[in-house]
Amino acid sequence: MRVDRPAIEALASSMQGSLIEKDAPGYDAARQVWNAMVDRRPALIARCATPDDVVRCVEFARRNRALTSIRGGGHHIAGNALCEGGLTIDLSGMRGVRMTSGSTRVVVEAGATLADLDAMTQKRALAVPVGINSTTGVAGLTLGAGFGWISRKHGLTVDRLVSAEVVTASGDRVHASERENADLFWALRGGGGNFGVVTSFEFDAVPLGPEVIAGLIVHPLEHGDDVLDFYSRVTQSAPDELTVWAVLRGAPPLPFLPAEVHGKPSIILAVCWVGDPKDGEAVIAPLREHGRPYGVHVGPMPYVAWQQAFDPLLTPGARNYWKTHYFQALSRGLWDVLVDHAKRMPSPLCEVFVGQLGGAVARIPKDATAYAYRSVGYAMNVHTRWERAEDDARCIAWARSLFQGAAPFATGGGYLNFMPEDDMGRVSAAYGEHLPRLAQIKAKYDPENLFRVNVNITPAKTARREAAPPPRP
């Protein structure tokens, strides 16, 4: 990026936040993200404090044709929060969450995490259906659709989105909702960061908690066929209030597990019930009683505690490479692939999870939002995680092998938020049949593709001619 010094100084002086250049104090800390594999050096990092800061950054990027990335508050698995040699618009300091008295509406700034959101809504026994790790960023999760423990009962994160405040590529601040800029609002709900910089999200929260029934049932991997077949049967007929995920990994060093099984290859059923507790005990009983598990720890707990239960397994600073598939149903052939790879995980930090979807997610019309995979039953994340750079090739090869082995059983699609850097070309897999419509909307709001450091949607040429705004003087 070649920009005159006066232009950089003018941007810095116009912001309430700060503009950090290479070699400035704090630069290396400012460019660190959760995934230690990401090592990019933006020319400028704009730590925004207000939406007006964002406007000024977007105008600067457009005038100077600067490569531009957008950083929220979370994990950035693919590293798209940073761009090499360009401008990073950093929203991570904008973490405000507010609710008005007597309302279920919650407004969340783009740098907030799930912990910030949950802390506010649970004061009123409310929740927004979000992900399963409290350090996840609300912005990235939402723009990619968002699912977690309560999605089968209450839908995706985007299904509770009421409106968003957006800075478009033209530098305009716009409100997107069903009534205003409805096409943009549709695209934001699953289309990623292609259409502008969202500075805040408004959700309509649902009643929940403060307690749920949740916990873990840990089985030996050698019982894999039996446990996974049982998992498949249970999840096919489960009520919406029940969500069960199957996780293959080394048994974690939890107090309810004997010390001698810590680290042993295991299949863990992660259970969450969000309905009436009396009904939940009866529904969960077969899960408790099946097979010969290493240990069972399921019971009432605060929803916030369950949302944070996996945080110790997802701390920043490790090297991460993920792969993702969707499945309509689960088969013995798929289990064989998963169990075989689980026996030879390249690092004790690795895991594979199969997350149960369906329920309320599947009952919303598939064209209601940009998220294209309403009908799938399960999402898989091959979560490869390790510490040393010298292990990169071995760990990545294992993840790709598992991904390829599972492909014959998959739909061909993939969850946008789990795609690594080398999956940025899987555009059709990310957006499915909605890609042509998204390309038309992209051409209307970002005809020059300013926002392209992402799983990028190319602006449709016809829409660009028809809908591109007139040039500014």
Our separate counts of H helices and E strands in the chain read 16, 18
Tell me what the pLDDT averaged over the chain comes to. Answer: 95
Q: Would residue 458 count as lying in a domain?
A: no
Q: What pLDDT shows up at residue 473? A: 30
**What CA–CA distance (Å, rounded) separates 469 from 400?**
43
The answer on 295 and 415 residing in a single domain is yes
Looking at the fold, whether 126 and 64 belong to one and the same domain comes out as: no
Residue 22 and residue 82 in one domain: yes
* Cβ-Cβ contacts under 8 Å for 412 (sequence gap 6 or more): 326, 429
Amino acid (1-letter code) at residue 375: S
Per-residue model confidence (pLDDT) at position 209 = 85
**Sign of the CA dihedral 278, 306, 206, 76?**
negative
Average pLDDT value for residue range 46-61: 98
Residues written for the chain: 473
Same domain, residue pair 167 and 228: no
Residues 20-48 have a mean pLDDT of 96
Q: Are 12 and 84 part of one and the same domain?
A: yes
pLDDT > 70: percent of the chain: 97
On whether residue 467 sits in a domain, the answer given is no
In a domain, 327, yes or no: yes
pLDDT of residue 472: 36
Neighbours of 462 (CB within 10 A): 11
**Same domain flag for 23 and 45:** yes
- The answer to whether residue 84 is domain-embedded is yes
Q: Looking at the domain assignment, is residue 360 inside a domain?
A: yes
Per-residue confidence (pLDDT) for residue 2, from 0 to 100: 81
Residues 348 and 231 placed together within one structural domain of the fold: yes
Let me know: does 121 contact 207? Beta carbons within 8 Å.
Answer: no
202 and 231 assigned to the same domain: no
Last residue of a domain, one of 380, 399, 423: 423
Mean pLDDT over residues 235-255, rounded?
A: 96
CB atoms within 10 A of CB 100: 9
Q: Tell me the pLDDT tens digit for each residue of 260-292.
A: 999 999 999 999 999 999 999 999 999 999 999
Q: What is the mean pLDDT of residues 146-159?
A: 98
Tell me, what CATH number does 72's domain have? Answer: 3.30.43.10
Tell me the β-bridge partners of 326: 379
CATH of the domain at 138: 3.30.465.10
Query: What pLDDT band is residue 380 in, cutting at 50, 70 and 90?
Result: very high
pLDDT at res. 464: 43
Note whether residue 238 is domain-resident: yes
Domain boundary among 186, 207, 228: 207
Q: How confident is the model at residue 424 (pLDDT cuts 50, 70, 90)?
A: confident
Do 244 and 220 sit in the same domain of this protein? Answer: yes
> How far is Cα 319 from Cα 283, in angstroms, rounded to an integer?
38
Co-location of 323 and 391 in the same domain:
yes
On whether both 190 and 301 belong to a single domain, the answer is: no
Q: Helix or strand or coil: residue 226?
A: helix
- Residue 452 in any domain: the answer is no
* Confidence (pTM): 0.94
| Number of domains present in the structure of the chain | 3
* Residue 14 belongs to some domain of the structure: yes
Query: Is it the case that residue 158 has pLDDT exceeding 60?
Result: yes
Rounded to whole angstroms, the maximal C-alpha distance in the chain is 73
pLDDT-derived band of residue 466, with 50, 70 and 90 as boundaries?
A: very low
CATH number at residue 400: 3.40.462.20
- Residues 115 and 257 reside in one and the same domain: no
Kindly state the percentage of the chain with pLDDT values over 90: 93
3-state secondary structure (DSSP) of residue 118: helix
Instruction: Report pLDDT for 76.
Output: 82
- The 3-state DSSP class for residue 220 equals strand
Count of alpha carbons within 13 angstroms of residue 297, beta-carbon side: 14
The pLDDT of 82-97, averaged and rounded, is 97
Q: State the average pLDDT over residues 21-29.
A: 94
Per the structure, the complete domain to which residue 129 belongs is given by: 97-207
Q: Which of 71, 90, 109 represents a domain boundary (last residue)? A: 90
